[in-house]
Structure 1
Amino acid sequence: MTTTIPDVPLRVLELRAENYKRLTAVQIRPDGNVVLVGGRNAQGKTSVLDAIYAVLKGGAAARETVQPIRDGQDTAVARLDIGGDDGNVVLVATRRWTKDDAGSLTVESSDHARFSSPQKLLDGLLGSISLDPLAFTRMDAKKQLATLVDALGDSLEFDPIQLDAERKGVYDRRTEVGRKVTELESRLRSYPEPDPSVPAEEVSAGDLIAKVDEITRRNRGIDAAIGVAKQARANREHAAAALEAAQQALDAAAENERARIAEARSAGEREDPSPLLDQLGEIDHLNDRVRKQRDRAAVAEELSDRKQEQAQHSLRLQEIDKQKADGIAAAKLPVPGLGFDADGVTLNGIPFSQASTAEQVRVSTALAMAGDPSIRVMRIDGGESLDSSSLQIIEELAAEKSFQVWISRVDESRSVGFTIEDGEVVA
């Protein structure tokens, strides 16, 4: 059908229920934004609130209700007249149960025309958690976060789960790089400070040994030449003694002497290999210094790279945190100070679970109202646990947002709201 639902806040104008759970027959026409349902335990207070829930949420209510029909009866019915503040009925929603089914729903307009998809119609007019606002306080941290994000809808310009996952990845990588930076800094401190006198490359011991061998060979040649010259002189002296007998031999020996002396002089001066031998003795120490200085430079370069990488990760974390802060600031949060992090919902920077009862009530109720549904009906079972401050908060929010809040509470005075006894309204 094509009946148009007026774009005004809708509430329950009248509740009628027969044989539903503990109820025998009740008719309630609420007045005001807060509807109190009182009475002793096991008299049907909660059944009144459950009847509203059963009519509006259908399948979800059926799954949570084992026995909707009052004991000893064969059928049950719950009906809601739904309309605006002007008192005009817009919709009539009725759910009936028999022992053979889980309940059937009909929704009619004010002119008695029926809707073909009644549950789909009601679901489109209801908020996701508006029927039980304090359910938010009973959720675990992850479910609270998911509920808050869902309630914020398109006003939240980022995916918090995806952003938190990215942040965790960046944080873990920065932590890993930080450990490497600490390790490199420790290694760097184990090296001596750079010494400009130390050569860039290690010195070859083979080159020094070859030079020593060359000098040794040259000195041996010089020593051999000197020995030959001495022998020539001895021969000359021997020949001189026998000059008369061997003048010719003397001349030859003299000539030989001159030749050998000339040869010895041409061999050059003797060199001292001691400096090279001293240097050879120090070569291992020198090369060790070269290696350490080269290794230190490599560690310093890697440390610089890791510090730069660490700084980049820190910068990305700041960008992620700013993106989240800007997104939260731009989102339509129902309560000032409400936010969230990777662990769950926060209020003024502390975990939601650590907030006071009054603060939790305010946040949960405001969040349930934030969706701005068409049917603005809430139910709170066990209202006796609400102190006066929490109840006042609910009353103020209900008036501000044009919500109708049904609250059941244990009360034997018959002086508060509607009193239920033995499944009927008595006061």
Structure 2
Amino acid sequence: MKIIKLVSENFKGLKAVEIEPDNNFQIISGKNAQGKTSVLDSIWAAISGKAALKGTDKPIRDGADQAIVRVDLDDIVVTRKWKGDKTTLEVTAKDGAKYNSPQTMLDNLVGRLSFDPLSFSNLDAKKQKEALQELVGVDFSKLDAERKGLYEERTFINNDAKKLEGALSEIPFTEKDTPAEELSASEVLSEITFVHNKNRVNAARRNELERFRTEASRSHEEIKSIESEILLLQQKLDNRKKSYAEMCETGKALKAEVEALVDGDTTELEEKLQNIEALNKSIRHHKNRLRIQDEIAECKKSSEFLTKKMADIDQLKIDTLQSANFPIAGLSFDEDGITFNGIPFKQCSVAERLKVSMAMAMSLNPQLRVIRILDGSLLDSDNLALIQQMAQDQDYQVWIEIVDDSGKVGIQIEDGQVKEN
């Protein structure tokens, strides 16, 4: 749907203009402050109403009491009037039928961006990216937020791992056979006491043996004395022999027991007691190293998990971009903004930026195939030819204003009217 005829009366800087534009490329020329921009603005004011008049306090020309703009499209005629602070809108079909909700009907025709592709080219990188994402239906804001959270979490974990590794480097290395738990000095002391008690018992038994030997020797001497008096002391001797025999048997058993006794050696335990604090310190270092090594391993595991999730998000974004329907081949976007053929948009040539902006404007206005370009004087002849060619190839109608008072370029506006050439 394109414009067949435009009639504007008393709108902003216009008195009265009637234009039947070229099919694809219409230049509006003239000096500054003659009404060129008002011609283009009147089209969008008629179609978009308040949305097109932001920042415009007085749509009615000074000295007039009302303004009228009529836009004749292929299938409909749009007529908007302003009088005082009120406005009316009427949309009729070719057969005369009127639309009950004209603004809603027009809003469905209008694209989501400004009709001026140069305005897209001048947006900052963030807004350009948002516009392109809206156009292709791709929104990475949630994925980007999730990835940012994962990145920050991984950074936090990696910092913890570095701190742990620093703490680990401060701990002395320990032997592989270092005991798992610290030793108890009281337990070793108890073992030493047990051995000492055992040795005292053994000494008592040895003393008992010596006493027994002394007594046995004394008894033997008595036997000799008794033998000299055997006749008189036979009875006493017999008793003593019997007693001696019993003592001998007991002595043999006691001797065998004593000979089997083995004294305990506390040298190793005493050395162990002397070195127990150093050993326990080494044990503590060993346990601390093992704990920190486990924590470092856990940090690395978490970091690797988060890195994989970030990679999954990056791959999802790549897959989504590859399947998206961009308005022109080579157009895409990254975290910093949109790109064209892999180059940041701001670094592209003027022609490339213009080509992308035109493609965006066309994609955003598939039904109302009308595009305006303000400040067309900023474009050289090559860029104007590029715009004209794209409009013809895609069957769009471009309205462009240019500062020129030669009367040889497009339709010239002078003092709010079409100047007759």
TM range (shorter): 0.7 to 0.9
Normalising by structure 2, we get a TM-score of 0.83
- Compared CA separation, residues 361 and 264, structure 1 to 2 (3 A): farther
- Answering whether residue 103 of structure 2 is matched by residue 110 of structure 1, we say no
Aligned match of 1:320:
313
- Compared CA separation, residues 148 and 105, structure 1 to 2 (3 A): same
Residues 215-243 of structure 1: per-residue CA shift (max 9 Å, x gap): 22333455566677778999999999999
Residue 108 of structure 2, aligned match among 111, 121, 124: 124
Aligned match of 1:20:
11
Corresponding letter in the other structure for 2:299: R
Corresponding letter in the other structure for 1:137: S
Corresponding letter in the other structure for 1:402: D
Give me the whole-angstrom Cα distance separating, in 2, the residues matched to 1:246 and 1:137.
Answer: 141
| Higher mean C-alpha deviation, range 363-372 or range 333-342 | 333-342
Report the count of equivalent residues: 406
Give me the whole-angstrom Cα distance separating, in 2, the residues matched to 1:170 and 1:127.
Answer: 37
Give me the whole-angstrom Cα distance separating, in 1, the residues matched to 2:225 and 2:91.
Answer: 160
In structure 1, the gaps of 5 or more residues are 1-9, 84-89
- Percent of aligned positions that are identical: 39
| Higher mean C-alpha deviation, range 108-117 or range 183-192 | 183-192
Deviation at 1:23, TM superposition (A): 1.0
SS at 2:178 equivalent:
coil
SS at 2:90 equivalent:
strand
In structure 2, the gaps of 5 or more residues are 228-235
| Higher mean C-alpha deviation, range 354-363 or range 103-112 | 354-363
Residue 197 of structure 1, aligned match among 156, 172, 177: 177
Normalising by structure 1, we get a TM-score of 0.82
- Is the contact between residue 28 and residue 412 of structure 2 (CA under 8 Å) also seen in structure 1? yes
Deviation at 1:143, TM superposition (A): 3.1
Residues 155-197 of structure 1: per-residue CA shift (max 9 Å, x gap): x4xx422221222222222222222332333344444556332
- Is the contact between residue 120 and residue 128 of structure 2 (CA under 8 Å) also seen in structure 1? yes
- Is the contact between residue 17 and residue 23 of structure 1 (CA under 8 Å) also seen in structure 2? yes
Corresponding letter in the other structure for 1:145: K
Equivalences for 1:9-408 in 2 at 5 Å?
A: 10-83=1-74, 90-101=75-86, 103-129=87-113, 131-153=115-137, 156=138, 159-191=139-171, 195-222=175-202, 266=257, 268-349=261-342, 351-408=344-401
Corresponding letter in the other structure for 2:110: L
- Compared CA separation, residues 265 and 215, structure 1 to 2 (3 A): farther
| Pair member with larger Rg | 2
- Is the contact between residue 109 and residue 365 of structure 2 (CA under 8 Å) also seen in structure 1? no
| Higher mean C-alpha deviation, range 344-353 or range 33-42 | 344-353
Cα RMSD, aligned residues only: 3.5
Corresponding letter in the other structure for 1:44: G
